[in-house]
Amino acid sequence: MDIARWLDTIDLLCTRDFPAEYGRTDVGTGGPGHLVAELQTSDDFWEDDGTQGEETEAQYDADRDGLTERLTDRWGPPHRISLASILERSMDGEDIPEPWGSLSAHVPDVHLWQLPGTARWMALGVSQWDKELPFQLLAVVTETAPP
């Protein structure tokens, strides 16, 4: 865990211009109105009996919570929101704005702050696309409020 490096990346995201088009960035991905940084990525779990995945998930949740504590010192307590209803609405055909539509497919919940004095939102979440795939600790900065 490298909280200082993660905080530097979050500071960069909070001030950086959003890309005009979707694509890779030096810290993750981005598109119009949002940036997503991959702060940490685990190994995959193709040969795991389930225990390593559970331990890794617990560690990634703890890392997110530790980073949340540091960000709470800056911006106050976060909103903790589930993305399950956003995923359900997306699967029902509703057009969900990015980054929320994509995030809801692999991040169950986020810790969310509206950045003081700006129209930007910052979210932390733990991503996993499928049980064999890696976990990722993600930081998201967007000008789009959660739907």
DSSP per-residue string spanning 73-131: HHH-SPEEEE-HHHHHHHHTT--PPTTHHHHTTT--EEEEEEPTTSS-EEEEEEE-SST
27 inside domain:
no
pLDDT in tens, 113-133: 999 999 999 999 999 988 889
54 inside domain:
yes
147 inside domain:
no
28 inside domain:
no
* Interatomic CA distance for residues 122 and 72, integer angstroms: 12
Quote the tokens at residue 143: 């000008």
pTM above 0.75, yes or no: yes
Q: Which residues form the domain of 53?
A: 3-8+34-142
Q: Give how many domains the chain has, as a whole number.
A: 1
* Gyration radius of the chain over CA positions: 15
Write the CA distances from 137 to 3, 9, 60, integer angstroms: 12, 12, 7
pLDDT in tens, 18-69: 999 999 999 899 999 999 999 999 998 887 676 888 899 999 999 999 999 9
Q: CA 39, 10, 33: angle at the middle one, nearest 5?
A: 100
